[in-house]
Amino acid sequence: MAKIISIADTGEMWNEFHILNVQFDDGGGGTALAKSTTPPYKVGDEVEYTKKSGGGIKIQRDQTPYQKSNNSSNGSGSGNDKSEQIARAVVFKGAVDLVASSKLDIKNISDFVDKYLPVLTGEVKVNTYKDHFESEGSADNLPF
């Protein structure tokens, strides 16, 4: 396995693929093809690669953390990276909608996402209406 130390887009294309120059910490490197200028691998990733004739390389990544957690027998691991990405996208979309309706300042999007992401991922217990408004002693504290 070798660690990627640099990825540079050459600005050239071959069919529908971008041609990238990729360098590794073992001194190897060459050109790789990717569907976009931001390939699924990144600087710092540990990958297997093979040299092809003409200076090209084929990069084979190890499994992603999401795949590892789904394939593991005990379910341990980093787990829900994909689920958290989806939840983050949902919260971010909600924040953008609030900005569009002038109910949230654009500078507060990050704070909004940080505050409400744990609600979607289940890290925070959300009080029900009954727990919040009808618990002992709270009837005296109602604002209406």
Segment 75-94 shows an average pLDDT of 74
pLDDT digits (tens, 9 = 90+) for 43-72: 988 888 998 888 789 888 655 444 444 444
The answer to whether residue 13 scores a pLDDT higher than 60 is yes
Question: CB of 67 within 8 A of CB of 58?
Answer: no
Q: pLDDT at position 75, please? A: 42
Q: Of 61, 83, 98, which residue constitutes the final position of a domain?
A: 61
End of a domain among 61, 86, 107?
A: 61
The answer to pTM > 0.75 is no
Residues 79 and 104 in one domain: yes
Residues 78 and 54 in one domain: no
Greater confidence (107 vs 62) lies with: 107
Q: Of 61, 92, 108, which marks where a domain is finished?
A: 61
How many structural domains does the chain have? 2
Local structure of 7: helix, strand or coil: strand
pLDDT of the residue at 39? 86
The larger pLDDT score, comparing residue 3 to residue 128, is at: 3
- Sheet of strand 46-51: strand arrangement: 29-34, 17-24, 2-14, 46-51, 57-61
Q: Provide the b/e sequence for 85-109 (b: ≥16 CB within 10 Å).
A: eebbeebbebbeebbeeeebeeeeb
Name the residue range of residue 118's domain. Answer: 74-129
Instruction: Report the chain's mean pLDDT, rounded to a whole number.
Output: 78
